[in-house]
Copies of this chain bind each other. A is one copy, B any other.
């Protein structure tokens, strides 16, 4: 039974509570969705590796969590004369690949798969609060030990820590990606977490809140692991859910890794 890419996307959207959303960044970014679907690549970003993997695999749909063209709304007017943009679009179009973003809808399938994916990778599925899975209670670890655990379990090269490395951590908030800074800080304030593990921050927001907290006698910790590192477990976690909705289509995950060299 043949299925177009558009039909596959519609099938996914139909399974999301409250969908379709009138306003969403989850649109087709490139390619012709009327063609028959072959296979699917799921990736955090449309990296060169993800496109190459799609070509090798014969997959013609890349489902990506983040933008394709370096800005949240994937606006391209300002990019028209950039050779990077021209070459990326050409590569996608010449290979008849369709890019569809799965961001707002992904986060709207409860429980949030990016939190569940992290809990799974950290082996904390039974430590999470059933009502608020982004809050976990663990056997006390120092902030340094906790950082080592996160780094080792997720296979990361480098993470950033703010706070006293000897701080005992029991109540852990996990906020993958880059949620609003107010939410990050409220986890440490109202929600009473000892430490927040998150993907990305602004250097005038949550990291300074934590630095001030420590200076002012309130012990708090922050572990910043990188945006991709914090959400890729969730993209792996959602694949069985996608497979259930699209049983006839093979789905492959391609990691975006990290572009950063730490010197």
Contact = CB atoms under 8 A, between A and B. Distances in A.
Contacts of A91: 216
A180 to B, nearest CB: 10
Contacts of A47: 208, 211-212, 215
A254 to B, nearest CB: 13
A165 interface: yes
Given A84-B209, A261-B162, A261-B165, A70 B204 contact: yes
A203 B45 CA distance: 10
A185 B70 contact: yes
Interface in A30-60: 45, 47-49
A227 B208 contact: no
A228 B203 CA distance: 8
Given A200-B202, A202-B178, A202-B200, A210 B259 contact: yes
Given A70-B181, A161-B263, 12 more contacts: A45-B208, A67-B204, A70-B185, A70-B205, A78-B182, A78-B186, A82-B185, A84-B220, A87-B216, A148-B263, A161-B262, A165-B261
Interface of A: 45, 47-49, 66-67, 70-72, 78-79, 81-84, 87-88, 91, 144, 147-148, 151, 158-162, 165, 178, 181-182, 185-186, 189-190, 199-200, 202-213, 215-218, 220, 224, 226-228, 259-263
